[in-house]
Chain A
Amino acid sequence: AAGVIQSPRHLIKEKRETATLKCYPIPRHDTVYWYQQGPGQDPQFLISFYEKMQSDKGSIPDRFSAQQFSDYHSELNMSSLELGDSALYFCASSPDRNPYEQYFGPGTRLTVT
């Protein structure tokens, strides 16, 4: 069965640089979520999209922005990167029948040096 695809899987950036993370949800899933998970921490909800519109906003910094495109893939844009942004970034998607049944991608490990 198709799963959530995230790219890249690993990313190394320097402070003050920008990064773009991509997420391709499971086909026919219309909701996408972004999470940030630090080492030993629980996933922190950043933002979600339903049918290409932002649906919920969590603890996403102003330096970050995200959008969902017409093909339902989503991108998380991160600017002015800080050392504290180093984390695993997960994307999850869920079907319309149950927005709480989230299927997570493998994550992108971002390291800011």
Chain B
Amino acid sequence: GQQVMQIPQYQHVQEGEDFTTYCNSSTTLSNIQWYKQRPGGHPVFLIQLVKSGEVKKQKRLTFQFGEAKKNSSLHITATQTTDVGTYFCAADNYGQNFVFGPGTRLSVLP
């Protein structure tokens, strides 16, 4: 079945440093979504990417979808303590299966 991998599994950064998490699939994806889950909370939808090579920005967050639609990245510029949480990518390969990646847990040290 489809697998979605994320790296790194954990990331500890100092407040103000940048952070990037990568999502990789073994198959071509029709689209990809990113979610954030705060400790003790529920996943919150951040964004969806559909087009090959697409780049979207939300304030300090930049999302990219690879040209081959097999990978994606989330980059946070100048992290803040409010960015703490687990970032999941979620993907669907043309309706065959919908899966979440294992997530990247971000810790931000003040």
Residues in A with CB closer than 8 Å to B98 are 45, 48, 56, 58
Residues in A with CB closer than 8 Å to B101 are 42
**Shortest Cβ distance from B6 into A: residue:** A42
**Could you write out 15 A-B pairs with CB less than 8 Å apart?**
A42-B100, A42-B103, A44-B100, A48-B98, A56-B98, A58-B98, A100-B31, A100-B48, A100-B90, A100-B92, A101-B48, A102-B43, A102-B45, A105-B42, A107-B42
Contact between B43 and A90 (Cβ–Cβ < 8 Å)? yes
Identify which of B45, B48, B103 gathers the most chain A CB atoms within 10 Å of its CB.
Answer: B45
**Shortest Cβ distance from B42 into A: residue:** A104
Contact between A90 and B42 (Cβ–Cβ < 8 Å)? yes
Chain A residues numbered 83-104 whose CB sits less than 8 Å from any CB in chain B = 90, 92, 98, 100-104
Main secondary structure of the interface of B (DSSP, over half): strand
**Shortest Cβ distance from A91 into B: residue:** B42
**Shortest Cβ distance from A42 into B: residue:** B100
User: Measured between C-beta atoms, what is the minimum distance from B103 to chain A in Å?
Assistant: 5
Known interface pairs A42-B103, A101-B33; A106-B48 also in contact (CB < 8 Å): no
Query: How many A residues touch B, CB cutoff 8 Å?
Result: 19
Q: Within the assembled complex, what's the spacing in Å between the Cα atoms of A101 and B103?
A: 18
Q: Within the assembled complex, what's the spacing in Å between the Cα atoms of A105 and B43?
A: 9
Does A27 interact with chain B (Cβ within 8 Å)? Answer: no
Does B22 interact with chain A (Cβ within 8 Å)? Answer: no
Given contacts A92-B43, A106-B42, 5 further A-B contacts (CB under 8 A): A42-B100, A100-B48, A100-B90, A101-B48, A104-B44
User: Measured between C-beta atoms, what is the minimum distance from A62 to chain B in Å?
Assistant: 18
Q: Within the assembled complex, what's the spacing in Å between the Cα atoms of A41 and B44?
A: 16
Q: Within the assembled complex, what's the spacing in Å between the Cα atoms of A8 and B81?
A: 31
Residues in B with CB closer than 8 Å to A43 are 43, 88, 100
Does B66 interact with chain A (Cβ within 8 Å)? Answer: no
Q: Within the assembled complex, what's the spacing in Å between the Cα atoms of A73 and B88?
A: 26
Q: Which residue of A90, A98, A105, A107 contacts B48 across the interface (Cβ within 8 Å)?
A: A98
Residues in A with CB closer than 8 Å to B48 are 98, 100-101
Contact between B42 and A45 (Cβ–Cβ < 8 Å)? no
Q: Within the assembled complex, what's the spacing in Å between the Cα atoms of A43 and B41?
A: 12
